[in-house]
Structure 1
């Protein structure tokens, strides 16, 4: 995968039912190929995935590199999920998809600056996965649950 010429999959895309797994796999492949471009493998959202699975970037990359498709990393994920309940998986997916800066932190300013730069005027966006998708040209439904910290000042 050459991330200097294309985007990785959405954080919402799954492997074995786990969000962020496909995007981390794409970035891992690109990292191994030296074509990561401006992306970062083992970034904070990747580490959220790794922590949930009980792995790290090295083991995940080895699984990604073990096959030309997602089958190698799917085997790792399925093995790591064996001890987890459906509720734990659903909770992780929900948490990752709602990942946003905490109100009152420096992360809010960083997020809002990024949203202004790449969000195409979408002031309803307040999660990292939605901002990533908008930046990379994917369709993101308009939200009605935008928290006060993310709403434009009047």
Structure 2
């Protein structure tokens, strides 16, 4: 596979948004969004989006997957199905119940449950980027509100 394949799969995140973190890939929430950002970084179309951000870090920490190994595999031009298979093969988590519990923990993570540095960051980010009158109940709301899904 070639870089042109990665480029053809990559979203232009200067004009569109990555998937919602609520969407699953390979059974994991946020994995599709992380893949969208990684492909865009490889293709140079990431704009203001960052790969290996704190949210990506939660997935890498849970699965034990190395972010550089993930990026290297994505750079081969792997499609979504191949990436989902790779995630499952390389994840240290083999118990489906543990994955469901982690997914639900991530879906339900309130700002007050987050590490303090992320709380501090979001304290300024939310009023700057979330439409007035919108109430952020959980972390994923921030992305879906800012990107017009909620």
TM-score range, shorter chain: 0.7 to 0.9
After TM superposition, the score normalised by the length of structure 2 is 0.80
> How many residues get paired?
139
5+ residue gaps, structure 2, are 1-10
After TM superposition, the score normalised by the length of structure 1 is 0.78
SS of corresponding position for 1:79: helix
Q: What is the rounded CA distance, in whole Å, between the counterparts of 2:102 and 2:119 in structure 1?
A: 22
Q: Which has the larger Rg? A: 1
Q: What is the rounded CA distance, in whole Å, between the counterparts of 1:14 and 1:122 in structure 2?
A: 28
CA RMSD after TM alignment: 2.3
Q: Which has the higher contact order (CA 8 A, sep 6+)?
A: 2
Q: What is the rounded CA distance, in whole Å, between the counterparts of 1:105 and 1:62 in structure 2?
A: 31
5+ residue gaps, structure 1, are 140-154
Instruction: Give 4+ residue runs of structure 1 displaced > 4 Å after superposition.
Output: 103-107
Deviation at 1:4, TM superposition (A): 1.0
Deviation at 1:100, TM superposition (A): 3.6
Q: Could you tell which deviates more after superposition, 113-122 or 99-108? A: 99-108
Q: Which residue does 1:58 correspond to in 2?
A: 68
Q: Kindly indicate which of the two structures has a greater share of residues assigned to helix.
A: 2
